[in-house]
Chains A and B, each alone.
Chain A
Amino acid sequence: MLDHLALGFSIALSPFNLLMAFLGAVLGTLIGALPGIGPVSGVALLLPLTFGMHPTSAIIMLAAIYYGSQYGGTITSVLINTPGESASVVTCLDGYQMALRGRAGAALGIAALGSFVAGTFGTLLLMLMAPTLARWALSFGPPETFALMLLGLTTVTGLAGDHPLKGFISMVLGLMLAMVGFDIVSGDARYTFGVNEVLEGIDFLPVAIGLFGLGEVLVGAEEVRDLRILRARYRLREVWPTAADWVRSRWAIARGTLLGFFIGILPGAGSTIASFLSYTVERKVSRHREEFGRGAIEGVAGPESANNAASAGSLVPLLTLGIPGSGTTAVLLGGLMMWGLRPGPLLFEKNPDFVWGLIASMYIGNVMLVLLNIFAIPAFVWALRIPYRVLTPLIVVFCVTGAYAANNRVFDVGLMLAFGALGYLMRRFDYSPAALTLALVLGPLAERALRQSLIISDRGLLIFFTRPIAAVLTSAALLAVLIPLGRALWRVRHRVRRLAPA
């Protein structure tokens, strides 16, 4: 382990990779802070910049954007009472109240320090757990792999959002799109309708940029209003927590870190859910319960730690199993495949420089981020003054350029725009772009695993229930489908019965 970590640091400390981590930290904080653009869109938008880069440098930058955005979201929640991204929604409750009481600096300070503790400790846990999990997963055959993918797909879809039925529709749509193009086994060109550009499959990048970059901007163009920023002072004296703040926050930070990390590992429950849960826990255990909603510092420290730890935790299934548990990690997985890496348990054995370089860079990135978020707050607040209406066309141009740069084809720009429109409609009507993306990325891999399983099986689909690990995973996946769908059906029948006598 220490050898590996030393290797990782020797890679992460190279000048170019340090620059990439710093770039990711700055951009991540910005993306987190700007309302209307979150980590998923940020990662999707910046993915084209990584072409021709070494995969390790690329993942160092993109991961820094991901965890950096968890830092940046706080700024907007505290100063504007609008979440910069969804994992900072609960921070508005007490963070903004603290700011109204003249303690904006303290709220930002404790959030940055809590995030640092959580990010560093989360990375440590990731480092300790991931290699073991990867070694265990090495024994997986095609049935286990398929069952695992099924579980990843169904939990993300069933748990996320309050409309599971539409989540499953989004997922099936994603799988259907994944079938387009040459079939690897037979060579049949499926659902191409004579369009040569999709023979190799629908390219992931224009889809991701459209769904997340353009789609989110279009929704934002309707929703985001001009923002009023509270004025505050950010000298170290205001930002650094007092002794009393420390005493009140330290256990909140510790609980948030552990809770966040393990929630982050679970598929379908990312940093947003982690931050909400942490807030609930803190309100339950606090001795200052009456202060919650009126500027309790624990209500900022806990959730802000939890969302950072969750972003580290969500990298565990991505790196060890190749199964992303959230929209952002799904885009990262798409990136991994574009850079020519094969995600899954073999990653730790075949690409140690990649995995350990990333882990080492996360320690470094968190140090950069805590410094940025304590000493450079005014710079990020200044960036918040850029009107969203000016930012919108800039992002559109960036989407167009990025989609083009993927394959140097104008076709991909059109594809990106089409998926931008789809992403807008999906958001407006409560469908799940994240589930679609996840299914599009996993689709070809899942189909291959399914076919291989059925070939080695002599009793058809029963193979997913006769092998112990596969049986557990498949059953869990079935439950993840049947429980929410059953509930939807039950509601329908309930209504019918109630309407019938009338």
Chain B
Amino acid sequence: MRRADHVGGVLCLALGTAYAAGARQFPYWTPAGPGSGFLPFWLGVALALLGGLLLLQAGRRAPPSGRGDPAGREAVQAGSLRQLLLLSGATLALLVALPVLGLILASALFLLGVLRFLERRPWRQAVGVAAAMAILIHLVFARWLRVPLPLGPLGF
């Protein structure tokens, strides 16, 4: 967790500095009061300061004594990390497929793929859940709320 805090501190320092520098292109003060660069400048400064403080704290801190650092969360098993990465990958694929296949088809394929190949659910269950969710989305979002969902090549 200390290394994560170091990374976090450096990121905040850098982001805060860049943000404050970016605020300089907007007027800090105008005749009518504070300009559009006023608050952003101080927010950037604040983030940089907080990042510095985090860095200081992490650098000086003895190995965590359990507080704010539950052991159970630290020890993520390799298996579940792999699961998480696969799920994230599938979700990214869903984003890419969305405009091409349409929302309903892409979602159904996503569910089918995740349930069958990631979670190793039986075919019947995977197909059933995917189909049910597709119908539900169609009824709720397309019919009831009249959201113009992205359509696929099949017209839905």
A-side residues, CB < 8 A to B, are 48-49, 51-52, 161-163, 165-166, 168-169, 172-173, 175-176, 179, 183, 185-186, 188, 190-191, 214, 218, 221-223, 389-390, 392-394, 396-397, 400-401, 404-405, 408, 410, 413-414, 417, 420-421, 428-431, 447, 450-452, 454-455, 485, 488-489, 491-492, 495-496, 499
Given contacts A221-B80, A390-B121, A397-B111, 19 further A-B contacts (CB under 8 A): A51-B147, A165-B50, A169-B8, A172-B16, A173-B47, A176-B40, A389-B119, A393-B90, A393-B119, A394-B133, A397-B94, A397-B137, A400-B91, A401-B137, A405-B149, A417-B92, A421-B88, A430-B69, A451-B38
- Cα separation A454 to B31 with both chains bound (whole Å): 12
Whether, in the assembled complex, B156 has its beta carbon less than 8 Å from a beta carbon of chain A, the answer is no
On chain B, the residues within 8 Å of A429 by CB distance are 1, 4-5, 8
What is the distance, in angstroms, from A443's C-beta to the closest C-beta of chain B? Answer: 9
Whether, in the assembled complex, B95 has its beta carbon less than 8 Å from a beta carbon of chain A, the answer is yes
Report yes or no: A186 in contact with B68, Cβ–Cβ below 8 A. no
Report yes or no: B146 in contact with A190, Cβ–Cβ below 8 A. no
On chain B, the residues within 8 Å of A191 by CB distance are 19, 22, 40
Report yes or no: A190 in contact with B87, Cβ–Cβ below 8 A. no
Report yes or no: B146 in contact with A222, Cβ–Cβ below 8 A. no
Whether, in the assembled complex, B53 has its beta carbon less than 8 Å from a beta carbon of chain A, the answer is yes
Q: How large is the interface on B (under 10, 10 to 19, 20 to 34, 35 or more residues)?
A: 35 or more
A–B Cβ pairs within 8 angstroms, 24 of them: A48-B145, A162-B68, A169-B54, A172-B43, A175-B39, A188-B36, A190-B40, A191-B19, A218-B87, A221-B87, A223-B72, A393-B87, A393-B114, A394-B133, A397-B94, A400-B95, A401-B141, A405-B149, A417-B95, A450-B34, A455-B32, A455-B34, A489-B53, A491-B61
- Cα separation A396 to B118 with both chains bound (whole Å): 14
- Cα separation A404 to B125 with both chains bound (whole Å): 27
Of the listed residues B38, B50, B119, B145, the one surrounded by the most CB atoms of chain A closer than 10 A to its CB is B50
What is the distance, in angstroms, from B3's C-beta to the closest C-beta of chain A? Answer: 10
Tell me the residues in window 104-155 of chain B with beta carbons closer than 8 Å to chain A beta carbons. Answer: 107, 110-111, 114-115, 119, 121, 125, 129, 133, 137, 140-141, 145-150
List the 9 shortest-distance A-B pairs measured between CB atoms, nearest first.
Answer: A455-B33, A183-B36, A393-B114, A162-B68, A222-B80, A188-B36, A405-B147, A186-B36, A397-B107
- Cα separation A175 to B47 with both chains bound (whole Å): 10
Complex: chain A residue closest to B56, CB-CB: A492
On chain B, the residues within 8 Å of A173 by CB distance are 47
Q: From DSSP, what is the main secondary structure of chain A's interface residues?
A: helix
- Cα separation A165 to B9 with both chains bound (whole Å): 11
Known: A394-B129, A400-B107. A408 touches B36 (CB 8 A): no
What is the distance, in angstroms, from B150's C-beta to the closest C-beta of chain A? Answer: 7
Report yes or no: B68 in contact with A163, Cβ–Cβ below 8 A. yes
Identify B50's interface contact among A162, A172, A496, CB under 8 A.
A172
What is the distance, in angstroms, from A208's C-beta to the closest C-beta of chain B? Answer: 17
Tell me the residues in window 1-34 of chain B with beta carbons closer than 8 Å to chain A beta carbons. Answer: 1, 4-5, 8, 12, 16, 19, 22, 26-27, 30, 32-34
What is the distance, in angstroms, from B143's C-beta to the closest C-beta of chain A? Answer: 12
Report yes or no: B111 in contact with A393, Cβ–Cβ below 8 A. yes
Complex: chain A residue closest to B5, CB-CB: A429
On chain A, the residues within 8 Å of B50 by CB distance are 165, 168-169, 172
Report yes or no: B33 in contact with A454, Cβ–Cβ below 8 A. yes
What is the distance, in angstroms, from A404's C-beta to the closest C-beta of chain B? Answer: 6
